[in-house]
Each structure stands twice: as C-alpha cells, then as structure tokens.
C-alpha cells in the first residue's frame, strides 16, 4: 500500500479524482497505510491525526471545487472530507478500524461465511 508521501504528483488531477472516487475505504482514499490486527484481533494503525490532515490537504488540492473545474471534483472533495472527519475523530476512527479489521478477516476467511462461523469451524476441527 502506498504511504502518505507517494507519487501523487505524478498523476494528473483527473486521475487523482478518479482514484479518490474508486477507493474502497478511507485508507486507500487518503493513501494512508491500512491497519492490521494484532494477536488479540484488535486494530493496529500507527498513523497520527496530523498525518491524516496532511494527506487530506495534499489530495484536496486537486479536487477542491474552487480550484478544479472537473465535473466530479465536488464529489471527490466531499468524499475526502468524510474520510478525514472519520479518521480524525477518535471514536469514529476506532469504530471504523474495528469494522475494517472485521471485514478484512471475513474476506480472508471466505466471503461465503462470517468470521464467527469460520472461527467455530476451526475450533471444531
């Protein structure tokens, strides 16, 4: 996954807006590292609120409605604002991290079953 200092300047504003709108989650949208689970299945994400703010500022330059005439710029800017607000507020961030880790675990164990069902089947085996 790309870090906060990746080559976003190499992409055109059009490509950056498309990338923001296609992002699957807030981490990909802001181009921050994804969290991972520790041994207790608790999320570990070592990104400071300042790093979230810097990533938002860097990306918002390409899609701010006052600076871009791209038709999707307002939508991309709103998505960035939503992602920043979620990851900057401690309670919202904690909920989002837990849900992200839970979804990653379910996805890894198979989309056809929930994480709980997969865990029970492992214990029975």
Q: Tens digit of pLDDT for each residue in 54-87?
A: 999 999 999 999 988 999 999 999 999 999 999 9
Which comes out higher in pLDDT, residue 79 or 11?
A: 79
Q: Which residue from 117, 47, 118 is spatially nearest to 88, judged by alpha carbons?
A: 47
- Mean pLDDT for the chain? 84
What is residue 119's predicted lDDT score, i.e. its pLDDT? 61
Percent of the chain predicted with pLDDT > 90: 62
Does the predicted model carry a pTM greater than 0.85? no
Report the pLDDT averaged over residues 107-125: 59
Tell me the average pLDDT across 102-118.
64
Which residue do the tokens 């871009």 mark?
68
Query: Residue 125, class by beta-carbon neighbours within 10 Å (0-12 exposed, 13-18 middle, 19+ buried)?
Result: exposed
Half-sphere exposure in the Cβ direction for 17 (13 Å, CA): 20
On the CB side of 54, how many CA atoms lie within 13 Å of its CA?
10
């Amino acid at each position: 996954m790309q870090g906060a200092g990746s080559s976003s300047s190499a992409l055109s504003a059009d490509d950056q807006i498309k990338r923001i709108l296609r992002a699957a989650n807030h981490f990909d949208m802001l181009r921050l590292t994804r969290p991972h689970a520790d041994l207790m299945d608790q999320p570990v994400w070592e990104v400071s609120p300042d790093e979230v703010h810097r990533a938002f500022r860097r990306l918002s330059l390409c899609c701010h409605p006052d600076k871009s005439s791209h038709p999707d710029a307002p939508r991309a800017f709103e998505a960035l604002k939503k992602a920043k607000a979620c990851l900057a507020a401690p309670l919202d961030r904690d909920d989002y991290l837990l849900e992200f880790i839970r979804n990653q675990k379910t996805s890894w164990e198979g989309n056809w079953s929930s994480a709980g069902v997969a865990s029970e089947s492992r214990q029975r085996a």
